[in-house]
Amino acid sequence: MHSPTMEDEKLDHAELGTPTPESPTVQPEKTLDEAQPPSQEIVIQDHTTARTETNEEEWVTGLKLAVIVAAITMAAFLMLLDVSIVAAAIPRITSDFHSLTDIGWYGSAYLLASCSLQPMAGKIYSKYDSKICFMVFLALFELGSLLCGVATSSKMFIVGRAVAGMGGSGIVNGGLTMIAKCIPMEKRGVYIGIIIGTAQLGIMLGPLVGGALTEFVTWRWCFYINLPAGGLVAIFLCLIHIPSHSTKTTSKSTFSSTARSLDLIGFVLFAPASIMFLLALEWGGNVYRWNSATIIGLFCGAFGTIAVFFIWESRVGDEAMIPLSMIEKRIIASSCLAMLFAASCMITTSYYMALYFQADKGVSPMLSGVYLLPSILTQMFFGVASGGLVGRVGYYLPFIITGTILTSIGTGLISTLISTSSTGKWVGYQIIAGVGRGLAFQMPILAIQNNLGPKDIPVGMSLVMFSQNMGAALFLSFAQTILSTTLTHELPVLAPGVNVQAVIAAGASKFRDVVSKALLPGVLLAYDRAIDRVFYLATGSAVAAFVVCLGMGWKSVKKAKVVEAEA
Q: What are phi and psi of 44, to 5 degrees?
A: -120, 120
Average pLDDT score over residue span 215-225: 86
Among 265, 329, 302, residue whose Cα is nearest residue 552: 329
In this prediction, residue 559 carries a pLDDT of 66
pLDDT at 157 over 80: yes
Lowest mean pLDDT among 35-44, 62-71, 153-162: 35-44
Q: Where does the pLDDT of residue 140 fall: very low under 50, low under 70, confident under 90, or very high at 90 and above?
A: very high
What is the rounded distance in angstroms from the CA atom of residue 369 to the CA atom of residue 52? 53
Read off the amino acid at residue 88: A
What is the rounded distance in angstroms from the CA atom of residue 434 to the CA atom of residue 443? 15
**Domain 330-567 falls under CATH 1.20.1250.20:** yes
DSSP, collapsed to helix, strand or coil, labels residue 508 as coil
Cα–Cα distances in Å, from 476 out to 217, 278, 541?
30, 11, 12
pLDDT at 101 over 70: no
The pLDDT tens digits of the residues spanning 307-346 come to: 999 999 888 887 888 888 888 899 999 999 999 999 899 8
What are the residues facing 43 on neighbouring strands? 563
Among 192, 239, 161, residue whose Cα is nearest residue 72: 192
For the chain, the straight-line distance linking the first and the last C-alpha, in angstroms and rounded, comes to 39
What is the rounded distance in angstroms from the CA atom of residue 340 to the CA atom of residue 471? 5
In this prediction, residue 39 carries a pLDDT of 42
Among 244, 183, 180, residue whose Cα is nearest residue 464: 180
What are the residues facing 288 on neighbouring strands? 284
In this prediction, residue 262 carries a pLDDT of 79
Pick 245 or 43 by higher pLDDT. 245
In this prediction, residue 428 carries a pLDDT of 94
DSSP, collapsed to helix, strand or coil, labels residue 284 as strand
Report whether 519 contacts 353 (CB < 8 A). Answer: no
Residue 394 falls in which region: left (phi positive, over 0), alpha (psi -120 to 50) or beta: left
Q: Class assignment of domain 58-244?
A: mainly alpha
Pick 402 or 7 by higher pLDDT. 402
Note whether 58-244 and 330-567 share their fold.
yes
What is the rounded distance in angstroms from the CA atom of residue 255 to the CA atom of residue 120? 16
Provide the sign of the torsion angle of the four alpha carbons 412, 414, 418, 424, taken in this order. Answer: positive
In this prediction, residue 429 carries a pLDDT of 94
Among 20, 23, 185, 25, residue whose Cα is nearest residue 565: 25
In this prediction, residue 305 carries a pLDDT of 93
Q: What are phi and psi of 30, to 5 degrees?
A: -90, 145
Report whether 534 contacts 478 (CB < 8 A). Answer: no
DSSP, collapsed to helix, strand or coil, labels residue 90 as helix
Q: What are phi and psi of 258, to 5 degrees?
A: -65, -40
Average pLDDT score over residue span 250-279: 77
Q: Where does the pLDDT of residue 377 fall: very low under 50, low under 70, confident under 90, or very high at 90 and above?
A: confident
DSSP label of 42: E
Q: Where does the pLDDT of residue 354 fall: very low under 50, low under 70, confident under 90, or very high at 90 and above?
A: confident
Q: Where does the pLDDT of residue 52 fall: very low under 50, low under 70, confident under 90, or very high at 90 and above?
A: very low
pLDDT at 440 over 60: yes
pLDDT at 219 over 90: no
Report whether 74 contacts 233 (CB < 8 A). Answer: yes
Report whether 440 contacts 396 (CB < 8 A). Answer: no
Read off the amino acid at residue 349: T
What is the rounded distance in angstroms from the CA atom of residue 224 to the CA atom of residue 145? 7
pLDDT above 70 coverage of the chain, percent: 84
Helix or strand (DSSP H, E) at 43 = strand 41-44
Among 112, 163, 458, residue whose Cα is nearest residue 283: 112
In this prediction, residue 256 carries a pLDDT of 64
Q: Where does the pLDDT of residue 57 fall: very low under 50, low under 70, confident under 90, or very high at 90 and above?
A: low
DSSP label of 495: S
Cα-Cα-Cα-Cα torsion 146, 150, 153, 154, nearest 10 degrees, comes to: 40
What is the rounded distance in angstroms from the CA atom of residue 375 to the CA atom of residue 380? 8
Query: Can you give the pTM of this predicted structure?
Result: 0.79
Where do the structural domains in the chain lie, given as residue ranges? 58-244, 264-320, 330-567
What is the rounded distance in angstroms from the CA atom of residue 417 to the CA atom of residue 217? 36
3-state helix, strand, coil in the chain (%, to 5): 75, 0, 25
Pick 508 or 33 by higher pLDDT. 508
In this prediction, residue 29 carries a pLDDT of 44
What average pLDDT does the structure give for the chain?
Answer: 81
CA 21-24-29 angle, 5° bins: 160
Provide the sign of the torsion angle of the four alpha carbons 397, 400, 402, 408, taken in this order. Answer: negative
Helices 103-127, 255-262: crossing angle, 10 deg rounding: 110
CB count within 10 Å of CB 307 equals: 12
Report the relative pairing of strands 561-564 and 41-44 from DSSP bridges: parallel
Helices 443-451, 373-393: crossing angle, 10 deg rounding: 30
pLDDT at 403 over 90: yes
Contacts 24+ apart (CB under 8 A), 62-66: 64/240, 64/241, 65/182, 65/183
